[in-house]
Amino acid sequence: MNAPVFFTHLRAESRFLILATLALWMFAALCNCIPGSLPLLTIYVAGTVLLAYYILKLSGYFQYAVIRSRKSDLLLLMFSILAGGILQEELLRMVLDQPIWNYQTIVTSAPLFAVCIFIADRTILKLTSRLSNKRRIALILSDDQKKALLSDLKALKLMEEFSFISEVDLFNDHYENLKELSAVIISRKAVKEFDRKALLMRAHLAGIPVLDYQSVSASLSGRIKLRDLDYATYLLEATPQRSVNKLYMDLKPVLEPVAAAFLLLMLAPLAALIALLIKLTDRGPVIYKQRRTGYLGIPFTLYKFRTMRIDAEKDGPQWAKDHDSRVTKIGRFLRATRLDEIPQLWNIICGEMSFFGPRPERPEMVEKLSEKIPLFHVRTIVRPGMTGWAQVCAGYANSVAESRIKLEFDLYYIQHMSPRLDLIIMLKTIKVVFFGSSANERRLRLVRSELLEATGL
């Protein structure tokens, strides 16, 4: 059992298989569409469920940490059931030359199956969580690590589900406590010192999960905290580059320019309207060009709709501020909805950027931040993105401290790059576009994180 599964109560694989099978059979019965051959329907249901399960397995549905949003779970369920149903239908047509359902039925029913499974899964989890006793966790950590971990659990409203015992308690009464433990969380440094009576190995042999603190912390917070960073853990906990992930990474540089060109064409009327509003409300150019540091540190010219006055940086590069007086009226709206980023589709077409990734910084800022923040250069090992994990979780950075926090989110993204994480980022970005972003909420989150870093509280 890994840390994400243990802490976020992710759905069990067996539960999905049962719920998906029941959903398909109930649909067939309620719609009175069971064909004459019952064995044939049984083969279809079993095949569809197993194919959907395999697609979810490859996408990381059963192992991935759900940090903030579960909307991507519902979309993954829809896609997997739809793909599984179509594949199974094609197989039966090819082998038996006999259709079961038409494609229209499959396409329209997939969302219904997904919603039913999603709701049933969450209901079962809530019921079992309320009925079960608190799980006991042994914390073999420093005081600062304990405070940080408990803060993360409290922020996710998971504290009520656990009780914690210390290293001293574990030693004083290890025979009884060991049998009752649900997990042991330990830091790598503590592993070297924690050798008395071989309790860790005994816990492992008893089937009790022994979890690494850094992995647990990252999965709960969505950040790789620099003060706890361990290179070995960072590499070992990275999302495995299996066939699906590797294929996705190989196809991104090929398909993204095509998708960007299509989007640019579709958004041309909106872009023209934005350009007109900028011209009508403020003198100066519509498009703002700026040198940014791109993939592997190579500089490129980034394009945006201009949101600031033309003399905004007459005194040189400056940090953006809340309620920045340099921002124009239309610019404030464009920034809040991220519509000022539309011209960056051209950067994607040129292969300089990706849809998802760390936001590119200005060379002057990169030089300054690299001197003050360790590993800041690591952000450039992947292509910069129009949007990214740090962008949707922490917003804009207005200081070195906030840039440090954003780097921790970027390091998490690089460690867990996958279709699933990109999907979550896309959903969050769409939400910002339609509903705007709360600058105050994001700033308070950053301040809280900064205090956690400084005090461990």
Residue 425 has pLDDT above 80, yes or no: yes
Residue 69 main-chain phi, psi, to 5 deg: -125, 140
Predicted confidence at residue 66, as pLDDT, reads 42
Residue 309 has pLDDT above 80, yes or no: no
Distance (Å, rounded) from C-alpha 35 to C-alpha 433? Answer: 46
Residue 65 has pLDDT above 70, yes or no: no
**Structural domains in the chain plus CATH codes:** 3-130 (no CATH), 133-221 (3.40.50.11410), 243-455 (no CATH)
Residue 348 has pLDDT above 60, yes or no: yes
**Residue 135 forms beta bridges with which residues?**
162
Predicted confidence at residue 332, as pLDDT, reads 83
**287-293 and 299-305 beta bridge pairing:** antiparallel
Mean pLDDT for 277-290 is 85
Predicted confidence at residue 234, as pLDDT, reads 77
Predicted confidence at residue 440, as pLDDT, reads 44
Q: Return the higher-pLDDT residue of 171 and 287.
A: 287
Distance (Å, rounded) from C-alpha 48 to C-alpha 43? Answer: 8
Q: Return the higher-pLDDT residue of 33 and 235.
A: 235
Predicted confidence at residue 68, as pLDDT, reads 40
Least reliable range by pLDDT among 70-74, 105-109, 339-343, 396-400: 70-74
Q: Which amino acid is at 85?
A: G
Q: Quick check: helix, strand or coil at residue 184?
A: strand
Q: In the chain, pLDDT over 70 holds for what percent of residues?
A: 77
Predicted confidence at residue 28, as pLDDT, reads 67
Residue 325 has pLDDT above 70, yes or no: no
Q: What is the pLDDT of residues 172-221, one digit of tens each?
A: 765 566 777 878 888 877 766 555 567 778 777 877 888 888 888 887 77
Q: What is the pLDDT of residues 15-28, one digit of tens each?
A: 788 888 888 777 76
First to last CA, the chain: 28
Helix axes 38-59, 13-30, angle to 10 degrees: 140
Predicted confidence at residue 43, as pLDDT, reads 75
Residue 387 main-chain phi, psi, to 5 deg: -140, 170
Confidence of residue 314 (pLDDT cuts 50, 70, 90): low
Distance (Å, rounded) from C-alpha 13 to C-alpha 389? Answer: 27
Predicted confidence at residue 8, as pLDDT, reads 42
